[in-house]
Amino acid sequence: MTIEEEIKAIQDEIDKTQKNKATEHHIGRLKAKMARLKDDLIKQAMSKGGGTGGYSVKKSGDATVTLVGFPSVGKSTLINKLTDARSEVGAYEFTTLDVVPGSMEYRDAKIQILDLPGLVKGAAAGKGRGREVISVIRGCDLILMILDVFNFDHIAVLEKELYDAGIRINQRKPDVTITRTLKGGVVVTSTVDTTIDHETIKTILGEYKIHNALVNIREDITADQLIDVVRDNRVYIPAVLVLNKIDLVDKEHLKKFPKDAIKISADRELNLDVLKETIYDHLGFINIYLKPQGDKADLEEPMIMRGGATVGDVCDRLHKDFRRKFRYAKVWGDSAKHAGQRVGVDHTLCDGDILTIIIQK
Ligand SMILES: Nc1nc2c(ncn2[C@@H]2O[C@H](COP(=O)(O)OP(=O)(O)OP(=O)(O)O)[C@@H](O)[C@H]2O)c(=O)[nH]1
Ligand SMILES: [K+]
Ligand SMILES: [Mg+2]
């Protein structure tokens, strides 16, 4: 049996198993097996490429957004309208074979957008340079899932490919920690009621050969989410649904699509301003004002960071040596307990904070 066939066999077994308390732990074991096989598949696909032919994409700007979709949904047409890029457009599939970067300036932010080759079914397992495309997607800050009015049902395939590649869209990392221990078995503590029972948790960990660990659960999670925590190679990225080519259908027909999809025509430039605003909002930028020691803060030109950024992130942005040479920082603003609070690299900043960084000379 090939890995694909094994995965299929396990999926069939999960599908035909009645879901109830008595079978929960059997299903948990099957899911863990399947997750492991999918990881094998990804590894296999990567080694086949021999490590060559990967796209080298230099990140630039304040954040990176990728255009993800099936061939010919209009990704290249869109990047040409949103940025300074000139990516080839064609009425045939796989016009784009490379990653094409563009830069969009919006409000005070410089946003990098990457046009990608079309993703197809089986991409996560390496089809159509799928692995290379996926590794670019894994590194981005926001995914635009591009669909067109003719093939909206492709959404399920896109979601599955991203999922199989370890990309979790519009999810937070579960608030669960697993700490390996030398003995004592698997001990589960939880601060909330959990839907999966402790036996199932142990079974799933056992599938990954974890027989001694402290599992601390602070949020109710599914078996699949527990597997994600065990695997620890998942990325959590926000995504926005974009429906292109709306110029080709009438208003009545458009009502059939989900409300939260941004409906555009890249070619006719319909609704692109709404899309830009949505991109900006989803990236959750914050402004940080730098204040050199003993001097006034620069209130004219804030530094644009992503929400959740730490003092260390600001150091990295300023200079490659800043984190190494860092001594301490002082903060004024919403993140500070008091004006001028002394903080370390792990301190999380808020929008509007004023920051002084002190480094070794
Ligand atoms: N009517 C209409 N056609 C569009 C629109 N956007 C793109 N197209 C057409 O759709 C076809 C495919 O566009 P591309 O921009 O090459 O699509 P792509 O997603 O980059 O395709 P690949 O690179 O092959 O994956 C071209 O013929 C475009 O002119 C749109 O908003 N409306
Ligand atoms: K095309
Ligand atoms: Mg293209």
**Helices 223-231 and 24-48, axial angle in degrees (round to 10):** 40
Can you spell out the DSSP letters for 198-238? HHHHHHHHHHTT--SEEEEE-S---HHHHHHHHH---EEE-
Cα 76 to ligand 1 centroid, rounded to whole Å: 7
User: Are the CB atoms for 213 and 245 separated by under 8 Å?
Assistant: no
Supply the pLDDT for residue 161. Answer: 92
5-29 confidence digits (pLDDT tens) = 999 999 999 999 998 888 888 999 9
Q: Report d(CA 11, CA 280) in Å as an integer.
A: 39
Q: Residue of the nearest CA to atom 14 in ligand 1? A: 74
82-101 confidence digits (pLDDT tens) = 999 999 999 999 999 999 99
- Phi/psi for 40 (5° steps) reads -60, -40
Supply the pLDDT for residue 125. Answer: 74
User: Are the CB atoms for 107 and 61 separated by under 8 Å?
Assistant: no
Q: Which atom of ligand 1 is nearest to the CA of 118?
A: 25
The C-alpha R_g of the chain, in whole angstroms, comes to: 23
* Closest ligand, as measured to the CA of 119: 1
Q: Which residues contact 85 (CB under 8 A, 6 or more apart)?
A: 79, 100, 101, 102, 103, 113, 115
% of the chain residues with pLDDT over 70: 97
Q: Residue of the nearest CA to atom 8 in ligand 1? A: 74
Domains of the chain: 3-48+174-231 (no CATH), 63-171+235-282 (3.40.50.300), 285-359 (3.10.20.30)
pLDDT band, residue 51 (cuts 50/70/90): very low
Q: Residue of the nearest CA to atom 2 in ligand 1? A: 245
Supply the pLDDT for residue 53. Answer: 52
* Ligand 1 neighbours by CB, cut-off 6 Å: 69, 71-77, 89-91, 93-96, 118, 244-245, 247-248, 265-268
pLDDT band, residue 50 (cuts 50/70/90): very low
Ligand 1 pocket, mutate which of 77, 150, 262 (most atoms under 8 A from CB): 77
Q: Is the ipTM of this complex over 0.95?
A: yes
Supply the pLDDT for residue 46. Answer: 59
Q: For the residues 167-195, what does the mean pLDDT come to? A: 93
128-138 confidence digits (pLDDT tens) = 778 888 889 99
Cα 151 to ligand 2 centroid, rounded to whole Å: 14
Ligand 1 pocket, mutate which of 72, 82, 97, 245 (most atoms under 8 A from CB): 72
Residue 90 has which token pair? 């064609």
Residue 54 has pLDDT above 80, yes or no: no
